[in-house]
Structure 1
Amino acid sequence: MNNSHWLRSFAALVETGGFTRAASRLGLTQAAVSQHVRHLENELGPLLIRRPRQIELTPAGMALLDYCNEIELADKRLKLRLSDANSRSGDISLITPGSVGLALYPLLLGLQQSHPGLVIRHRFAPDPETRDAVLSKQYELGLVTLKPDDSRLVATSFIEEPLELVVPAGAAVAGWEDLVRLGFIDHPDGQAMSTRLLARHFPGNPGIRNVPCHGFSNQIALILEPVARGLGFTVIPRHARQAFAQADAIRVIEGGELVVDTLWLIRRAEWPLSARAAWVLEQLRKMLPFNQRRGGQRREVA
């Protein structure tokens, strides 16, 4: 588009009302200001009606002045965004696994209600999609279950998420045979999570593949629905269980060592963490329980 020096000269000319005053404001000669305006008029057509001691804008001149004002406002917004002068307003973009997302999203909305200047963008996604979204700059922050080995990303431990064996509220579970009788409600990570956790609850078990599958859901908020209806059991992260509305219809089976996943916060390595993102993360850490343990039991961090 047009040279920024030409645009500044034109805006100063309109604001001061004369070439001499515009030149004085900008620290230029009157001839330089006149030359800048001529360059603009060569590209855009007549911009000014020159009268003795007065200038008047043509329709093209008025359009260009609006454009100059828009550029000035955009420049101010850019400087404000880059300076992080206000850490309580602006865009917060976070992409996470579904389970912890169920816990984080209401907290983010609460922050937005308290600070209406914030704009929350949150997406549920598996690890590969999360890494790609952060690398492609679609999201500033992401949470993944596996620490990435990628020099383009910075990964820091954010929260620990225990796995839980969840059964219908009225189900009696004393041994492996009871799980076989109940049947398994599967989900995209169900086989892997169940294999890890059930090895602690029922050492030497023949494996989750030997348990009848009574259902499958890829929607994290719906996985416990069939469990609540007595159709089977599942193994799921604690945050997903805590977000389930029908708490009275399900029960967590305690016992064995904890199996805990560490969730890793990732961002682009070359980007400094914005003051806004740092503040939001600080608030989330205050509101979320971390490093959860149960009654002195040992835990396995996966």
Structure 2
Amino acid sequence: MINPAWLRSFCTLVDVGHFTHTAERLHMTQSGVSQHMRKLEEALGVELLVRDGKKFSLSDAGERLYAKAQDILQALSNLEQSVGEDPPYEGMVRVMSPGSVGLKLYPHLLALQKKHPKLIIDYRFAPNSDVENAIAESTVDIGFMTSKSTLADVSCTPVAEESLLLVTPATVEMLDWETLMAIGFIDHPDGSHHANLLMGANFPEFQHIHQFSRKGWSNQIGLILEPVSLGMGFTVLPAYAVEAFHKPKQIKAHRLSNPVSETLFLCGRRQRAMQKRMETVIAEARRWL
């Protein structure tokens, strides 16, 4: 294996043409430069310098090495620079979160990408368990979860609170237990969990979600409120999902007397260094949460 330092000394010597001046340029001793030349010749098994007293010329092998070595040293310099670079607005950042948070953040992160085209946003919507596993397996860089991870490899920091809202058709004026029983529930993957949190804190009659007739179900966060807007039932959703609905006049979000919120956690793999582009995305996300 050829030591790059020997190659650098060799090329500098050829460029300068003098051992003493080469040593000065490289902040070495003259004997150190001579030692590099000797080790390089021994490693290659050829004579590189034809010495004549204090003067020298290149052998044929030396000429060939000089032509190749400059490209090698430039490639090494480029490699060092590219590996050491950590630009804040370039490269891909993989983000994963539950749907409601995604509806809130994704448009803003797209706006950030539009402003900095070399920054690529890869955004996935997924439930907490999938986010947790993806972070532990390092298949995403940044995760947002509405519950704290139990995995040792995943670190979680609380960054925001997201309110849970009971949402009915816009035609519902008086919200009471009898009205909810009459119109029924539009379910979704977190429907039971959200209903237990919010309705359990506000309705003494509430025991479990199965007290209501199930009038529909959707696993697409952007579509859960469609049947509600058509008067088919009510549901319970995080506030960001409600804010993002495209027909706000056809639904009514009710803030109950005992508000309930979920804590939103920023999650990442423990002990993993955070690159600047990830810090850029996190800072933008925090602006909007």
TM-score (norm 1): 0.75
Give the distance between the partners of 1:222 and 1:140, measured in 2 at CA.
Answer: 28
CA shift digits 1:159-178 (9 cap, x unpaired): 11111111122234432222
The equivalent of 1:33 in structure 2 is 40
Structure 2 counterpart of 1:269, which letter?
R
SS at match of 2:85: helix
CA shift digits 1:22-58 (9 cap, x unpaired): 986776432222344459xxxxxxxxx9649x7247x
Give the distance between the partners of 1:118 and 1:87, measured in 2 at CA.
Answer: 8
The equivalent of 2:123 in structure 1 is 122
- Which residues of structure 2 form unaligned runs of 5+? 47-57
Structure 1 counterpart of 2:120, which letter?
V
Identity percentage over the alignment?
31
- Which residues of structure 1 form unaligned runs of 5+? 40-48, 289-302
Give the distance between the partners of 2:227 and 2:13, measured in 1 at CA.
Answer: 73
Q: Label 1:244 to 1:36 Cα distance change in 2 as closer, same or farther (>3 A).
A: farther
CA RMSD of aligned residues (A): 3.3
The equivalent of 1:193 in structure 2 is 194
How far residue 13 of structure 1 moved from its aligned partner, in angstroms, is: 5.5
Give the distance between the partners of 1:184 and 1:67, measured in 2 at CA.
Answer: 68
Give the distance between the partners of 2:147 and 2:282, measured in 1 at CA.
Answer: 20
CA shift digits 1:98-122 (9 cap, x unpaired): 1101111111112222233322222
The equivalent of 2:185 in structure 1 is 184
Deviates more, 1:109-118 or 1:11-20: 11-20
How far residue 65 of structure 1 moved from its aligned partner, in angstroms, is: 7.2
The equivalent of 2:78 in structure 1 is 73
CA shift digits 1:236-260 (9 cap, x unpaired): 1111111111112211123221110
Computing the radius of gyration over CA atoms, which structure comes out larger, 1 or 2? 2
CA shift digits 1:144-188 (9 cap, x unpaired): 121123443322111111111111222344322222222211111
1:248-263 equivalence runs, <5 A: 248-263=249-264
TM-score (norm 2): 0.78
Q: Label 1:262 to 1:20 Cα distance change in 2 as closer, same or farther (>3 A).
A: same
Give the distance between the partners of 2:96 and 2:18, measured in 1 at CA.
Answer: 53
Give the distance between the partners of 1:98 and 1:16, measured in 2 at CA.
Answer: 63
Give the distance between the partners of 2:133 and 2:79, measured in 1 at CA.
Answer: 29
Is the CA contact (8 Å cut-off) linking 2:109 and 2:284 kept in structure 1? Answer: no
Per chain length, whose mean CA-contact separation is higher, i.e. which structure has more relative contact order (CA < 8 Å, sep 6+)? 2
The equivalent of 1:163 in structure 2 is 164
Deviates more, 1:257-266 or 1:65-74: 65-74
How far residue 211 of structure 1 moved from its aligned partner, in angstroms, is: 1.1
Q: Label 1:66 to 1:133 Cα distance change in 2 as closer, same or farther (>3 A).
A: farther
Give the distance between the partners of 1:164 and 1:236, measured in 2 at CA.
Answer: 6
What is the count of residue pairs matched by the alignment? 268
Structure 1 counterpart of 2:182, which letter?
R
CA shift digits 1:69-100 (9 cap, x unpaired): 5554232111113xxxx433333332211110
